[in-house]
Amino acid sequence: MDTDLQAEIDRLHNECLSLMMATNNKQGEPNASYTPFTWLNNRFYILVSGLATHTVNLQQNPNLAILLADDESKTKNIYARVRLSYQARAETVDKNSEEYESALAALTERAGKTVSLLASLPDFVMVRLLPSKGTLVQGFGKAFVFDPQKRESATQLTNRNVADWR
């Protein structure tokens, strides 16, 4: 992948403290929400309440969409806002695993001490979000699709190939 594209993806992973997600319940009704996250080992980790609509949705239908977007104040043209989206699959992380401890430590570093309090509550669960397809939009005519697990190559979307990637 072009080093500039890679740098932009890494920047969004680092600068965005929360992700927006679109989930669906078992009837297919959508829900949009957000949550703080950490990016670790090519995966997103989120600590969410089992009482939240998005958590129930992820337990019933693990497929979701994720969006990271530059702050509106940083964009020169609101239609050309830099953004990174993923198709992903959610899986619950075992509280007694090393993966849970690593994700909790990384999330605490990014989001602060509230993470420890939330992790102590019985309804909160750690969820691993495994991205399967990524799209980076840097502006008009500057959209790229890539495999988030490989990240070696990206394809620029054009009028000729956009149907192949949707």
Tally Cβ neighbours within 10 Å of residue 51. 10
Q: Model confidence over 6-22: pLDDT tens digits?
A: 899 999 999 999 999 99
How far is it, in rounded angstroms, from Cα 63 to Cα 83? 20
Bridge partners (DSSP) of residue 133 are 87
**What's the pTM value of the predicted model, to 2 decimals?**
0.91
pLDDT of residue 97: 97
Region 96-122: mean pLDDT is: 96
* 107 CB-contact burial (10 Å; exposed 0-12 / middle 13-18 / buried 19+): buried
Which residues does residue 90 pair with via DSSP β-bridges, in sequence order?
129
Phi, psi of 147 (to 5 degrees): -90, 115
* Burial zone of 68 (CB within 10 Å; 0-12 exposed, 13-18 middle, 19+ buried): buried
- Supply the mean pLDDT for the chain: 92
Interval 23-39 mean pLDDT: 96
CATH architecture observed for domain 3-165: Roll (2.30)
Q: 1 pLDDT exceeds 90?
A: no
Please state, for a pLDDT cut of 70, what percent of the chain lies above it.
Answer: 93
Q: Is 120 helix (H, G, I), strand (E, B) or coil?
A: helix
